[in-house]
Amino acid sequence: MEGLPQPKNDDVSGLKKKVDELLAEKKASDHKRKEAEEAARKAAEDFARKNGDVESLEKSWREKLDKTQAEKDAEITRLNASLTNVLVDNVATTLANELALQGSANVLLPHVRSRLAVDYVDGVPMTRVLGPDGKPSAATIDELKAEFAANVAFAPIIAGSKASGSGAGGGNGGGAAPSGNRSKMTPADKAAFIAKHGAEAYGNLPN
């Protein structure tokens, strides 16, 4: 994604391929399960005609099939977790480290992490930025970074947010911060303004 080091494509594609293989195997397993259950029922009927014992045969088939299904599900879960680690956790950690003051990344990390998810575009896994409502958005990683940098609530732990005081008038050589409307600023504009003039100056701008 933009602005962040990316995991190797072969790592992600390899994980995706393995997940697809397991899903295909699971689908085939489901089909075989139905066939086996049907065969078990028929065998049980034949067996019942001869001996009257149906439960033991059905139990044996079900235990064997349930075990195979559980193993496939566990492997798919593990590989999906690996994809999440590469495409969400690693990206969130990198972004939090870039944004936060030294020692404060762990405070910011869960907030950044909650705004990222794994998504599939034409079958290819990618990092998707979520909106504040938790729904998929069209925002980029850079835009999410700018959003956090411009968020006054995180100003105390954002690197560069205290770079230049409030910009209140005077003859200190710095001059007052330029005026503007927060509502008309893009996320990148907000981040740049805070980095140059400080979160307090941003908070004093009119909406």
Torsion sign over Cα 53, 59, 61, 64: negative
115-121-123 Cα angle (round to 5): 125
**Residue 37 tokens, joined:** 């259950």
- Domain positions in the chain are 9-143, 160-204
Cβ neighbours for 191, distance < 8 A, ≥ 6 positions apart? 145, 146, 149, 150
**What is the distance between the alpha carbons of residues 189 and 38, in angstroms, rounded to a whole number?**
65
Taking 50 as the pLDDT cut, the residues of the chain under it are 1-7, 162-178
| DSSP class per residue in 76-124 | HHHHHHHHHIIIIIHHHHHHHHHHBPTT-HHHHHHHHHTTEEEEEETTE
The pLDDT of residue 184: 72
The torsion region of residue 88 among left (phi > 0), alpha (psi -120 to 50) and beta comes to alpha
Gyration radius from the chain CA atoms: 28
Strand, helix or coil for residue 148? helix
For 122-157, write each residue's pLDDT tens digit: 877 889 999 999 999 999 999 999 999 989 889 888
Identity at 92, one-letter amino acid code: A
pTM, whole model, 2 decimals?
Answer: 0.53
Q: What does residue 113 show for φ and ψ, rounded to 5 degrees?
A: -60, -35
The pLDDT of residue 38: 74
| DSSP class per residue in 30-61 | HHHHHHHHHHHHHHHHHHHHHH---HHHHHHH
Q: 45: how many CB neighbours lie within 10 A of its CB?
A: 11
